[in-house]
A = this chain, B = another copy of it.
Amino acid sequence: MQNDQKIRIVIYEDNRDLREGMTFLLQATPGLEFAGAFPDATNLEMQIPGLKPDVVLMDIDMPGRSGIDAATIVKALRPETQVLMLTVFEDEEKVFQAIRNGASGYLLKRTPPTEIISAIQDVHIGGSPMTSTIARRVLQFFQQQPPSGSSRPDYDLSPRELEILKSMVKGYSYKLIAEEHFISVDTVRSHIRHIYEKLQVNSKTEAVLKALREKIV
């Protein structure tokens, strides 16, 4: 984050008008330095290391290589480069993919120029500009609440059954579980049968998965 230096920016955007418009915008803005613009990301590996951008504006939908894949590669080549995704609409899945792949911000193409500029500055000093709609999606992913009503089902397992379940989650075989709890394998079976009934599953793997996903991990 070299501070009083100009922010070097590279654009990947297949729409020519948009690309040229943004190029012009960047060149006209003091504090920003236009470093390059390309209609696709296929030669990204050859471009990024030389151009050394601080910020990359990356269209999501491009011919050849998608912006999502491109974002991954940019972050691999230059982790310090911030990637700002550009898209026409807020596609839930793509947003998350981009985030997972290291994108630091998410803008709509219809964002007014002044805001694009401030988003660039923002992402460069460590922020993550995004629309509040996208932010909400991200938060909801975090909260991943059951849509309505009670929290998580309880299944009311007995204390003993819970312990057995935990052992199962550790990947133990019946024999091991028996030894661990100083009971016979048959008893373990008994408990596990009850657990299956309560969890509504019918195999060890399913039980472990359900336990892992829904409750006491």
Most chain B CB atoms below 10 A, which of A122, A138, A173, A201: A138
Q: Is the CB of A132 within 8 A of B136?
A: no
Interfacial residues of chain A within 103-149, with CB under 8 A of chain B in the complex: 103-105, 122-123, 126-133, 135-136, 138-139, 141-143, 145, 148
List of B residues within 8 angstroms of A201 by Cβ: 171
Taking the complex as formed, is A203 at the interface, i.e. its CB lies under 8 A from any CB of chain B? Answer: yes
Segment touching B, from A2-10, A26-34, A204-212: A204-212
For the complex of A and B, 6 pairs with smallest distance between CB atoms: A127-B132, A128-B136, A128-B135, A171-B206, A129-B132, A171-B205
> Which chain A residues have a beta carbon within 8 Å of chain B's beta carbons?
79, 99-100, 102-105, 122-123, 126-133, 135-136, 138-139, 141-143, 145, 148, 168-171, 173, 201, 203-206, 208-209, 212
